[in-house]
A and B are shown apart, each in its own frame.
Chain A
Amino acid sequence: MKNYDIVVIGGGPAGLAAAIEAKKQGIKKVLVIERDIELGGILQQCIHNGFGVHIFKEELTGPEYAQRYINMAREENIELLMDTIVTSITKDKRVRATNCGGILDIQAKAIVLTMGCRERTRGACAIPGDRPSGVLTAGAAQRFINIEGYNVGKKVIILGAGDIGMIMARRIVLEGGEVIAVLARGNIVKGLTRNIVQCLDHYNIPLLMNHNIIEIKGKERMTSVVVAQTDERKDVIPGTEKEYECDTLLLSVGLIPENELSRQAGIIIDRKTSGPVVNESMETSVEGIFASGNVVHVHDVVDFVTEESCRAGRNAARYVKGEISAESEAMNVVVSGGLSYCVPHKIRLSAMPDKMDLFLRVEDIYPEAKIVIKNQGKELARFKKTHLTPGEMIKQTVVKALFKDCKGDLEITLEVEGGKK
């Protein structure tokens, strides 16, 4: 049995930021366990630019952003275990991992979960038809093209207007392939607005709203798909079916936090985010186990993952040093009126810093709305917001003084003027 102060599970942007911050707080024995053969996580395949605008005030690519944190991790002498997969964690913070050397058992004083998320697949959206090769997730295609150096297809159709789908549409066109269209399954684009502009508009790739794929055809390799328009309930409109010849279908239909390990340890998972319920310190329902990044909720900007993970790393360090005071009872953060979730889910005033960021997401598009924070019916604050969309997370800074005399639930709601859209 090996002993560490803090074990970080996952060496992507979240894990690196948490480990570096814990080390900076004076924790000596910090270990990062990564299942891939190198650090950086999914950033390594995100070769496009646009990362780091908030933190570095410049536009970096994914690998550049990762390289900066990998270099910082090296400077801090953080211990790394690569090509190693964690198979279980327990409530009393035992970590079991395996690699080519065998099985490793580790006792940690605190754990930070930073396993990220994974893509929804064809099975998750139940597309009928044949099962030929050529159907893959957009992220898998991204890995094939940008890391392994293979092309995935010549004539491609993309289902789902998520960020990775749009970014891959541009990438395939740049490499000489043809993208027939990107199909959005509803009337809302899930990805960032800037990606519609710079990935689709600039490359003349059609974006078809309210469309879905109703059949995949092909014996060995895919030969075509049948596409149809959908109504507001996302049901197919008969008579709108159209067949497109293509050899590849990319799916960009959502990401799910990867929480098999968290569940094993008995950590409470939020149904809305599919990630652990966390408090102001990014601590899960199990004391001493923290979580941050896409394993908690799927982010659209890596800078926010880094900020959130610094918070997790800093508080894991405080926990190990016995500095977290949890005297006051946690207030539940309850959202309503068009908000889909808020992270953190709970706030303990005694452990809350003077200033803290809340991460919120909306369920629909609102050109103008106000975020209103209430406690026991009394309004504490309201923040005016413009151009809210489900694809863009809201970061709202709040000060501790605001919640001074609060008891019970903290209610956060959206007040919309002039209705939706």
Chain B
Amino acid sequence: MEKDLVCIVCPIGCRLKITGSIEKMVVSGGKCTKAIGYAHDELTNPTRMICTTARIKGGIHKVIPVKTDKPIRDEFKFDVVEEVNKLNLVSPVKMGDIVIANVCGTDVNIVAERDM
């Protein structure tokens, strides 16, 4: 296997070269050790952070930003937004409040990104 990836763990964006096999990957080009984990996850089980907005009543705005509290499997990204779009929250909501627990049957929660 020979694959090029751009590590997106941080804004530096290291260009990685992955050789070897899925079981025994050799990752080069990363400035830190996080690149190894990133390359492994991206090639075996890609996950994404999903950030979107939910309707809210009584707040300073009509919508409040929410996010997955950890990365969720890539295949769920559109389902997550669909679930969040069903919400009708009521102010006050605090940063970190869980607005959907175990979204799409995963162990990932949807949490508020701010107070409102």
Contacts and interface: CB of A to CB of B under 8 A. Distances in A.
Interface of A: 37-38, 44, 47-50, 53, 59, 61-64, 66-67, 145-149, 171, 174-176, 192-194, 196-198, 202, 300-301, 387, 392
A52 to B, nearest CB: 10
A193 B114 contact: no
Contacts of B48: 198, 202
B113 A47 contact: yes
A47 B49 CA distance: 11
A174 B60 contact: no
B11 A61 contact: no
A44 B49 CA distance: 18
Contacts of A147: 61, 63
A47 B6 contact: no
Contacts of B37: none
A148 B95 contact: no
Given A63-B114, A66-B114, A47 B52 contact: yes
Question: Most chain-B CB neighbours within 10 Å: which of A175, A176, A194?
Answer: A194
Given A61-B51, A194-B6, A175 B65 contact: no
Contacts of B114: 44, 63-64, 66-67
A130 B2 CA distance: 49
Ranked 8 nearest A-B pairs via Cβ: A193-B13, A47-B65, A149-B63, A63-B114, A194-B8, A149-B62, A63-B113, A194-B13
Given A53-B10, A61-B67, 9 more contacts: A48-B49, A50-B11, A146-B63, A149-B62, A171-B52, A174-B77, A174-B78, A197-B6, A387-B14
Contacts of B115: 67
Interface residues of B, number: 29
A149 B61 CA distance: 8
A192 B11 contact: yes
B74 interface: yes
Given A146-B53, A149-B53, A193-B13, A198 B65 contact: no
A392 B53 contact: no
21 contacts: A37-B60, A47-B51, A47-B53, A53-B11, A61-B65, A62-B65, A64-B95, A64-B113, A67-B114, A67-B115, A174-B78, A174-B81, A175-B81, A176-B81, A192-B11, A193-B13, A194-B11, A194-B13, A196-B6, A387-B13, A392-B11
A149 B81 CA distance: 14
Interface string B43-78: 000001111110100001111010100000010011
Contacts of B6: 193-194, 196-197
B60 A38 contact: yes
